[in-house]
Amino acid sequence: MIGSAHRALGEQVAREVGVAPARCTIARFPDGEIHVELGEHVAGRDVFVVQPTIAPVGETLLELLLVADAARRAGAARVIALVSYFGYARADRRTRAGQPLAARVAAALFERTLFDRVVAIDLHSAPIEGFFSIPLEHLDAVPRLASVLEEVLPERAVIVSPDLGASKRADALAARWRLPVAIVHKTRVSGSDVIAREVTGDVSGRRPVIVDDMISTGGTLVTATEALLAHGALDRPVIAATHALCVGDSIAKLAAIGVERLVATDSVPPPSAPFDVRVVSVAPLLADAV
């Protein structure tokens, strides 16, 4: 079953598994409510629903829950959510009093009454796994990203983590290719603004290959690139991330700082850009989990 958030990925997963996607109407009532209607008999069948919970997150999430409920009520044997990108994952802790723990709230919606299992890819942090009350299979897309990145690594590369959160990912990739690693120490000021406090590691005379779990506004990568250039790094960074949400004018901002290439998965619909974009599909990963 394919939700409306990313049909191309759902169709690719179905091809990998060797089945035709189940028919399911997803439309709107005149008042904006979501109308779901299955067009297949699913009684006694295992139903896999492909849906990244991308913006508008409330809508894509609710749509996924409605499809699951429809499948349950139609007698599905098991219902499994294939959530290639899990919205609200970054809200895995409260940064100030008065805030909700949104990642836990979103995870708690995946109840046993609707789903038997949820499959997710490169969640923002491991503790999110504990927010789910049903079995979660947490897939790692980094090996797939790395295999494409490896083909386009520039000469004299340095692998860079644009914040502490991605440092393990950067460290593992640097070790894999025996390249130096650097970390930009970032402080988030707002949803779109970050500042770089310092750069750890020698980046002078090296081409940055900046790796992160996701790109949203592009603010993290722009700030990291500026800090790296100020520390003597060469220009034309290569960037790599699992989830290239690339909201708003992020692509223009990345182009303006001279990004040469983006390597990303299709966990969300990949962006088009004036620079080279290499997309590696997560469909085989999801198909293996089916």
Contacting positions for ligand R5P (CB under 6 A)? 90, 162-163, 165-166, 194, 212-220
Residue 70 or 214: the one with the smaller Cβ distance to ligand R5P is 214
Q: Which of 185, 178, 192, 231 has the alpha carbon at shortest distance from 208?
A: 231
Residue 63 or 213: the one with the smaller Cβ distance to ligand R5P is 213
**Cα distance between residue 175 and residue 150, in whole Å:** 13
Count other Cβ atoms within 10 Å, centred on residue 140: 12
Gyration radius of the chain's alpha carbons: 20
Amino acid 222 reads V
We find the least distance from the C-beta atom of residue 220 to ligand R5P, in angstroms, to be 3
Q: Residues 186, 207, 231, 261: which is the catalytic one?
A: 186
We find the least distance from the C-beta atom of residue 185 to ligand R5P, in angstroms, to be 12
We find the least distance from the C-beta atom of residue 234 to ligand R5P, in angstroms, to be 22
We find the least distance from the C-beta atom of residue 163 to ligand R5P, in angstroms, to be 5
Residue 114 or 170: the one with the smaller Cβ distance to ligand R5P is 170
Residue 127 or 205: the one with the smaller Cβ distance to ligand R5P is 127
User: What string of DSSP letters covers 255-276?
Assistant: HHTT--EEEEESSSPPPP-SSE
Q: Is 253 a catalytic residue?
A: no
**Cα distance between residue 218 and residue 7, in whole Å:** 25
Write out the catalytic residue numbers.
186
